[in-house]
Chain A
Amino acid sequence: MTDAALEPALPPPPQTPFRRVISDFCESKLALFGLFLVAIALFIALFAPLISPQNPFDIAGLDLLDAKSPPGSVSGDGKMTYWLGTDGQARDMMSAIFYGMRISLFVGFTSVVAALIIGIVVGLVAAYAGGRIDALLMRIVDIMLSFPAILVALILLSLLGKGIDKVLVALILVQWAYFGRAARSAALVERNKEYVEAAACLALPAYRIVFRHILPNCLPSLIVIATITLARAIALEATLSFLGVGVPVTQPSLGMLISNGFEFLMSGSYWISFFPGIALAIAIVGINLAGDHLRDVLNPRNLR
């Protein structure tokens, strides 16, 4: 702030809304820290095969004598150090966490994007069509939202069985309703604005008005909801995997890794559950810190 005051009176650069959002976002150190955590989690997830000391899925490479080694111990053949210890099957925890992060983020991200798309279509159709279609769609959304996500997902997965694809289906089904309701209320506000009237006067087809004119103006608020939902989706997947109805044993997500450590917890082998939880917390806390501030920045009430 003081630097700007000392500068000679240059005309301020034209502030586009996008720039304003970026600069407002960077004002909060906590939000930047959140973004940093998200970057770490993303890096781990993207480059897991390159940075992992060991391939945790390669059972032939595991030496059962190394099972449950505490953090920092050296492997039996002296080739590598288990910085975060090993689990009950002698897997290097660090490698397992890197791969687990990959699965957790993939499931969370894919399910949120799919739910966002479904929610947008439902919400915009409801808002634009109005009348009975609106009433019917919103009744379904109301009913979906009146049940806790964890319970619906649990029941769904108990019917569908295990597997990443099934977890995705369950997560999408419990999440689309949030976006449906948010998209509808955002679109209702936009619908009565003059540019929509203008587009209607040009006799543009309804789908074009809805998706090319109304949708772009609803997106900012939906993206904020999507970031916070992403954090919830990752946590929900971890919870479901912990309960034993989520991802299969062959593709352990972070939640599954924590669950695997549960049985060793009472005997003092804390690291098998502890470190995957830290990794999970890094991803979720990061997303929440960044998303929380993004909501403040994009909130039209806070415009200066």
Chain B
Amino acid sequence: MLVYIIRRLMQAVLVMVVMSALVFAGIYLIGDPVAMMISPDASDVERDAVRAALGLDQPMWRQYLVFVNAAVHGDFGKSFLAGQPAMGLIFERLPATLELAFASLVISLALGLPMGVYAGLRPKSIGAKTIMTGSILGFSLPNFWVGLMLIMTFAVLLPDLLPWWPRLPASGRGATVDLLGLKLSLFTADGWRHLLLPAITLSLYKGALIVRLARATAREVLPMDYVKFARAKGLSESRIVGVHVLKNIMIPIATVSGLEFGQTVAFAVVTETVFSWPGVGKLLIDSILLLDRPVVVAYLVVIVFFFVALNLAVDLLYSVLDPRVRLESRAS
């Protein structure tokens, strides 16, 4: 197990080095960040001064080495535009994104799991068929369009038509509360109002996935001997479903929601753009459009690290939930 973890970590470091070099080279080749930052009528002398101050007059390989040396010490350079350390900028924005992703995970599990289990228990019922067709809509409809339509409905049309309908905010993040140095909006009513629409938008795809997965697993588990045995013992249906079936459904659900959590953080780029949510996704888009090199590279390093860690965590969680995995690794 330890060898496995060490090997995975080494692979992760390699991936991070390769990715950062590729992105660094790619961003180096296109565009001139100085042109974006300085007014067009600045003199050449001023331009060169800015360039030298940012280290852009050095050859490419030296820029990369300087970058790697600093990166190892946790310094990813300063954002060309904000003038702050890029890493600090990302960590400042990260709570907002994680909060959004977490809220959407909770929504998709709370809605998707019961619907999926129901569809698995009564596959022929009309309710189950409606749920399954709805789940196809859930992962077919383009995420950003759903977001726009939610804005249209709950922030514009409904409040315009019905005076008593509460107008939900269409952009930004609500009031935040400091918790251990993190700014979280989960604990204020205003924060929830702002969070609701983006979280629903983001949860749609994953919710649909969880519905389908829960249904498929439920149908696989139901004919198993231990379920029949539980029935033969005369256990109540709620205990059979709630304990015996649900426990086994949780294994794939945990894997997928863990892996999908990474996808959600990545996909938050889109939702954050629609709702002007001040998270890392919006930061990435803004930095890409404005050629803010240090921020893009720092974001990438963070996200690669995040994904590798996540994959590892899911594997470990898997061995906790499914004792068979643990036994196998111990036997080998």
Which residues of A does B touch, CB under 8 Å?
30, 143, 146-148, 150-151, 154-155, 158-159, 161, 231, 235, 238-239, 242-245, 255, 258, 261-262, 265-266, 268, 270, 273-274, 277, 280-281, 284-285, 288-289, 292
Q: Is the CB of B148 within 8 A of A273?
A: yes
Output the residue of A151, A274, A288 with the most chain B CB within 10 A.
A151
When distances are taken between beta carbons in the complex, the residues of chain B under 8 Å from A261 are 148
B189 in contact (CB, < 8 A): no
Q: How many residues on B have C-beta within 8 angstroms of the other chain's C-beta atoms?
A: 44
When distances are taken between beta carbons in the complex, the residues of chain A under 8 Å from B26 are 155, 159
Q: Give chain A's interface secondary structure class.
A: helix
When distances are taken between beta carbons in the complex, the residues of chain A under 8 Å from B218 are none
Q: Is the CB of A151 within 8 A of B136?
A: no
When distances are taken between beta carbons in the complex, the residues of chain A under 8 Å from B155 are 266
Q: Sample 26 A-B pairs with CB under 8 A, ordered by A number.
A: A30-B133, A146-B311, A147-B266, A147-B307, A148-B266, A159-B27, A159-B29, A161-B30, A235-B140, A235-B142, A238-B142, A239-B144, A239-B270, A242-B144, A242-B273, A245-B288, A265-B152, A266-B156, A273-B145, A277-B142, A277-B149, A280-B145, A281-B140, A284-B140, A288-B139, A288-B140
State which of B136, B152, B285, B289 has its C-beta within 8 Å of the C-beta of A270: B152
Closest chain-A Cβ to B152's Cβ sits at a distance in Å of 5
Q: Which 7 A-B pairs have the closest CB atoms?
A: A148-B266, A159-B26, A277-B145, A158-B288, A285-B140, A151-B266, A284-B140
Which residues of B does A touch, CB under 8 Å?
15, 23, 26-27, 29-30, 133, 136-137, 139-145, 148-149, 151-152, 155-157, 160, 170, 262-263, 266-267, 269-270, 273-274, 284-285, 288-289, 296, 300, 303-304, 307-308, 311
Q: Is the CB of B269 within 8 A of A243?
A: yes
Q: Is the CB of B142 within 8 A of A243?
A: no
When distances are taken between beta carbons in the complex, the residues of chain A under 8 Å from B143 are 235, 239
When distances are taken between beta carbons in the complex, the residues of chain B under 8 Å from A235 are 140, 142-143
Shortest Cβ distance from A240 into B: residue: B270
Q: Is the CB of A274 within 8 A of B144?
A: no
Q: Is the CB of B307 within 8 A of A265?
A: no
When distances are taken between beta carbons in the complex, the residues of chain B under 8 Å from A243 are 269-270, 273, 285
When distances are taken between beta carbons in the complex, the residues of chain A under 8 Å from B296 are 155, 158
Closest chain-A Cβ to B68's Cβ sits at a distance in Å of 19
CA distance A262 to B296 in the complex (A): 26
Q: Is the CB of A150 within 8 A of B151?
A: no
Q: Is the CB of B267 within 8 A of A150?
A: yes
State which of B27, B157, B269, B300 has its C-beta within 8 Å of the C-beta of A150: B269
Q: Is the CB of B269 within 8 A of A154?
A: yes
Q: Is the CB of A146 within 8 A of B270?
A: no
When distances are taken between beta carbons in the complex, the residues of chain A under 8 Å from B170 are 266
When distances are taken between beta carbons in the complex, the residues of chain B under 8 Å from A266 are 151, 155-156, 170
State which of A143, A274, A288 has its C-beta within 8 Å of the C-beta of B15: A143
CA distance A231 to B155 in the complex (A): 29
Known: A148-B266, A154-B269, A239-B144. 10 other contacts (CB 8 A): A146-B308, A146-B311, A150-B267, A150-B270, A151-B266, A158-B296, A159-B23, A266-B151, A268-B160, A288-B139
Shortest Cβ distance from A287 into B: residue: B140
